[in-house]
């Protein structure tokens, strides 16, 4: 199906090949970019770099506190980055609204960007279930109707087609 204009999609910057990961590398997803590239204008975002953590940097992860709260914490230095990340996400949401984003593709398993089944750790350092990356969580809370997906799921042709249909429908609701 032909669309009148490219969809404007946020994307985790490492998926485009930008060397923004904690180890200084990237996670370029050529299959995804090739499959969606002609339909999409990408808006590249690395929330961890944007909050000033730098590259390379100490890894961070989701930690479940004894009272049940899930926080974003640096693994070695145990710095709590939760409020910093949430405040930054809320600011970025305003910018995304001004940009008219049609959707977002997030990097799976990331404590900032992951949407589904992101590992959560206990304070003692043991696996403690699954959660959602904090940047993704704030964005999805603020823009609940906006289509979001993870890169791995978009390798499935049916899920990808469904995502594109959702993007189209969402864009129509914004202009009607």
Positions in the binding site for ligand SF4 (CB under 6 A) = 12-14, 20-21, 46-48, 107, 110, 112-113
| Strand-strand pairing, 60-64 and 70-74 | antiparallel
12 vs 167, which CB is nearer to ligand SF4?
Answer: 12
Determine the 3-state secondary structure of 80 from DSSP: strand
Side-chain half-sphere of 147: how many Cα atoms within 13 Å?
Answer: 23
74 vs 168, which CB is nearer to ligand SF4?
Answer: 74
58 vs 165, which CB is nearer to ligand SF4?
Answer: 58
CB of 175 to ligand SF4, least distance (A): 29
Q: DSSP H helical segments within 52-143, as ranges?
A: 82-99, 134-142
């Amino acid at each position: 199906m032909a669309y009148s204009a490219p969809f404007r999609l946020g994307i985790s910057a490492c998926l485009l090949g930008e060397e923004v990961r904690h180890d200084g590398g990237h996670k370029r997803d050529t299959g995804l970019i090739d499959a969606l590239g002609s339909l999409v204008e990408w808006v590249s975002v690395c929330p961890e770099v944007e909050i000033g953590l730098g590259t390379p940097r100490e890894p961070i992860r989701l930690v479940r506190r004894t009272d049940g709260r899930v926080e974003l914490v640096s693994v070695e230095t145990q710095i709590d980055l939760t409020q910093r990340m949430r405040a930054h996400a809320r600011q970025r949401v305003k910018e995304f609204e001004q940009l008219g984003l049609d959707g977002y593709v997030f990097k799976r398993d990331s404590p900032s960007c992951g949407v589904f089944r992101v590992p959560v750790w206990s304070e003692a350092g043991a696996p403690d279930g699954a959660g959602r990356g904090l940047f993704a969580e704030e964005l999805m809370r603020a823009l609940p109707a906006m289509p979001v997906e993870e890169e791995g799921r978009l390798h499935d042709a049916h899920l990808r087609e469904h995502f594109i249909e959702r993007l189209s429908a969402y864009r129509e609701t914004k202009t009607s």
